[in-house]
Amino acid sequence: QVQLQESGPGLVKPSQTLSLTCTVSGGSFSSGGYYWTWIRQPAGEGLEWIGRIYASGSTNYNPSLKSRSTMSVDTSKNQFSLNLSSVTAADTAVYYCARDSGSGTHSYWGQGTLVTVSS
Amino acid sequence: QSALTQPASVSGSPGQSITISCTGTSSDVGTYNYVSWYQQHPGKAPNLMIYDVTKRPSGVSNRFSGSKSGNTASLTISGLQAEDEADYHCCSYAGSNTVVFGGGTKLTVL
């Protein structure tokens, strides 16, 4: 069974960089043709796709967040990461990592981690 | 890239059927048969219920079904049960290697 687990600081100061890591276990990380995705959800709102990364390092980003987003992958650790720069209170949300088959079908999700942007 | 449009809330009584709509554009829902639906209970991660417009993952009840017409996709839940009360989110591939979600719909079982 594939499992994903987010980790990172729960509190980030405005203008700083939010950094999260997702660790994948129980499945094939580098082969299988999957995309590893970041999705966020502000309290009481819908889901927002942030972007995804392939095991090769190829990335796709939400155009509205592209200028502030950087994703990376470490296949030796079965991990992928998100950096979101110049954060504001609007970036406060639960951040999820998930596995995408390539067409936007997210079969497996992490439990989510709350990140609050506040001084 | 704009979010897909879903009704904020729907409701139904046990045993009834309800349908949740998800309206996009010709750039996403209207062009690609890659619409998925997710159920999310409070405080939990979303769970895949429908993918590729009509397909159900193993373990998902056949009371859940999906369809699409033009730029609008729909999720139908038949034989409504108390445990179906949750938020439902639609998602579509939007071309150029991007994905878009809807705003979510709160389902209340009366």
The pair phi, psi for residue B71, each rounded to 5°, is -90, 10
Q: By C-alpha distance, which of B53, B7, B34 is closest to B100?
A: B34
Evaluate whether A78 touches A71 at the Cβ level (below 8 Å). no
Q: What mean pLDDT, rounded, does chain B reach?
A: 97
CA separation, residue B43 to residues A40, B96, B102 (Å) = 14, 32, 19
pLDDT of A108:
97
Chain A CB contacts of B49 under 8 Å are: none
Tens of pLDDT along B2-33?
A: 899 999 999 999 999 999 999 999 999 999 99
- The owner of tokens 């017409």 is B69
Residue to substitute from A47, A65, A71, A114, interface B, most B β-carbons within 10 A: A47
E strand residue ranges, A8-105: 11-12, 18-25, 35-41, 48-54, 59-61, 69-74, 79-84, 93-100
pLDDT grade, residue B1 (50/70/90)? confident
The secondary structure of residue B5, as a DSSP letter, is B
Evaluate whether A91 touches A82 at the Cβ level (below 8 Å). no
Chain B residue with the nearest C-alpha to that of A58: B97
Evaluate whether A71 touches A38 at the Cβ level (below 8 Å). yes
pLDDT average, residue stretch A33-48: 96
- The owner of tokens 């993918």 is B51
Tens of pLDDT along B30-64?
A: 999 999 999 999 999 999 999 999 999 999 999 99
- In whole angstroms, give the CA distance from residue B93 to residue A101: 11
Neighbours of A43 (CB within 10 A): 8
Check A49 against B100: CB less than 8 A apart: yes
SS3 B50: strand
Neighbours of A91 (CB within 10 A): 20
Check A105 against B34: CB less than 8 A apart: yes
The secondary structure of residue B43, as a DSSP letter, is T
Chain B CB contacts of A46 under 8 Å are: 3, 6, 89, 101-104
Q: Which of A45, A101, A111 sits opposite B45 (nearest CB)?
A: A111
Check B93 against A63: CB less than 8 A apart: no
Chain B residue with the nearest C-alpha to that of A95: B45
Check A96 against B52: CB less than 8 A apart: no
Q: Is A88 on the interface with B (CB under 8 A)?
A: no
